[in-house]
Amino acid sequence: DDIHPKEIAKELAEKYAKIGRGSLSLWENLPILRKDQSTFYVDLYASIIVLKEKKYILGSIRDVTERKHLTDMKNSFMDMVSHELRTPFSVIKESYSLILDETLGTINSQQREMLDMAKDNIDRLARLINQVLTTERFESGKMEYNFAKHDINKIINQVSNDLQFLAKKKNLKLILKLDQNLPKVKIDKDKIIEVLINLIDNAVKFTDQGFVKITSRKENKNIKVIVEDSGRGIKEEDIGKIFQKFTQIERKPGGTGLGLTISKTIIEAHKGQIWVESIYGKGSKFNFIIPI
């Protein structure tokens, strides 16, 4: 009690009890008081060992105060960036929307072409920034989930309608094969929308001809969603890297290499799984399941 802040005494007691039972091996950023009552932070590694038929707890402590300080600074910076970027992006998007809608007067075809190009690039930049900020929120533990019962097919239809223009630009067929008898499932709707956008956008991006197909069905006690394409596929040696942070197997403009990492984090937070099947040169199938 003398070496820890009193306001977290209850939490500390519970965690020490877990260490005693052998159910907690790593405790990160544990606050410890110095004699002058200033605080430093440690990672505590604990394991149970047996010596002469007696159990002992073996602990090692590593001072991580500097790491925590840098992490806190990074999180504060990302919070500031997130806040400061929202307003100018909203103003820019509203401004060019008014011009494109000809609310402020007519525009000619050349002006419209230039504005469309600007809109595409601003939307792309917004997606990149959002992906970086989303990743930082996941890593800092600040990501919140709002779980409620939803119809997964309605969400798939909504995302497909929103992204239909991407498929049309490349003359691809966007096919839906949805099981209409699926039960509602407890999910965070906005997060699952983000997963579907990532998967469908990737499928369109890496498919030059043919189709992108979204399938939903019940499989055992799960709802399974498949995003399949007739694109270039993924080499066998690259499949294991596909969900790693900042990984882009084939470089494409506007990508961060974070979309699939974010998708994996979201699906795992739903107690589900996500994986890919692919034959190089013949297309890919991204699958995820969510328990009912």
Among 23-27, 108-112, 203-207, top mean pLDDT goes to: 203-207
Query: How many CA atoms within 13 Å lie on the side-chain side of 204?
Result: 20
- Mean per-residue pLDDT for 90-95? 78
Asked whether 63 and 44 are in contact (CB, 8 A), the reply is: no
pLDDT band at 272 (very low <50, low <70, confident <90, very high): very high
- Mean per-residue pLDDT for 1-7? 75
pLDDT band at 170 (very low <50, low <70, confident <90, very high): very high
pLDDT band at 58 (very low <50, low <70, confident <90, very high): confident
pLDDT band at 159 (very low <50, low <70, confident <90, very high): very high
pLDDT band at 245 (very low <50, low <70, confident <90, very high): low
Could you read off the pLDDT of 220-242 as tens digits, one per residue?
Answer: 999 999 999 999 898 888 888 88
Instruction: Choose between 153 and 97: higher pLDDT.
Output: 153
- Mean per-residue pLDDT for 186-205? 92
pLDDT band at 142 (very low <50, low <70, confident <90, very high): low
- Mean per-residue pLDDT for 175-204? 93
